[in-house]
């Protein structure tokens, strides 16, 4: 069995999209990006909680929903793009491939994108069925057989697979 490092290192490499060795330079850059993201999140949490607390005196349900939506939008709309852009600018996500194996790397990315698209499409299909059953109380198999759900799952799987394939292709760099 290979010694692949600690679980922490594996999670950090996966989260930041780091390819290759996780050396001291990459650790410093990850630390800087993480510190900036944490400070922004900490300031947001203080203000969002204070606003939700004041708002909650008038209507607690709306304050809770507002706080949840604000957290999701902040995390996915500000923190996640910041981490992605900062990782890309620091070249943490670059995958260097030698000239002879560039074609093989592109083929591998194509298969990975296909797999990710199928996985996302199936997950979307099942999840939409579960949500419809929970909200509307309808039969699970009737919901899964609706043409709209099938079409949405196929479309979202294709879109997700293409997008992930393009991102991975842009990360591919020729080695000098």
Q: Are residues 74 and 7 in the same domain?
A: yes
The model carries a pTM of: 0.66
Are the CB atoms for 165 and 110 separated by under 8 Å?
Answer: yes
* Exposure string over 88-107, b if 16+ CB within 10 A, otherwise e: eebebbbbebeeeeeeebee
- Place 2 in a pLDDT band, splitting at 50, 70 and 90: low
Q: Are residues 3 and 49 in the same domain?
A: yes
Domain count, the chain: 2
| CA–CA distance, 121 with 147 (Å, rounded to integer) | 14
- Of 93, 108, 129, the residue that ends a domain is 93
Tokens of 28: 């410093």
Considering only CA atoms, give the Rg of the chain. Answer: 21
- Do 61 and 105 lie in one domain? The reply is no
Within this chain, do residues 154 and 124 fall inside the same structural domain, yes or no?
yes
On whether both 33 and 75 belong to a single domain, the answer is yes
Lowest-pLDDT choice from 78-92, 108-122, 132-146, 155-169: 132-146
109, 57: one domain: no
Q: What are 36-87's pLDDT values in tens digits?
A: 999 999 999 999 999 999 999 999 999 999 999 999 999 999 999 999 889 8
What CA dihedral angle connects 72, 116, 13 and 19, to 10 degrees?
Answer: -140
Q: Domain containing 155: what range? A: 96-176
Domain limit, last residue, from 28, 58, 93: 93
């Amino acid at each position: 069995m290979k010694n692949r490092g600690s679980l922490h290192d594996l999670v950090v490499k996966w989260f930041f999209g780091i390819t290759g060795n996780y050396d001291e330079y990459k650790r410093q850059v990850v630390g800087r990006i993480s510190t900036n993201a944490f400070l922004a999140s900490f300031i947001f949490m203080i203000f969002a909680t204070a606003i939700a607390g004041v708002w909650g005196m008038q209507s607690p349900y709306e304050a809770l929903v507002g706080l949840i939506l604000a957290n999701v939008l902040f995390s996915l709309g500000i923190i996640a793009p910041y981490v992605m852009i900062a990782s890309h600018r620091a070249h943490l996500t670059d995958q260097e491939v030698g000239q002879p194996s560039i074609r093989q790397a592109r083929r591998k990315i194509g298969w990975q994108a296909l797999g990710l698209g199928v996985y996302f499409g199936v997950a979307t299909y099942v999840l939409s069925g579960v949500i419809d059953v929970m909200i509307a109380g309808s039969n699970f198999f009737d919901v899964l057989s609706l043409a709209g759900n099938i079409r949405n799952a196929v479309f979202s799987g294709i879109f997700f697979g293409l997008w992930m394939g393009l991102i991975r292709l842009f990360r591919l760099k020729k080695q000098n």
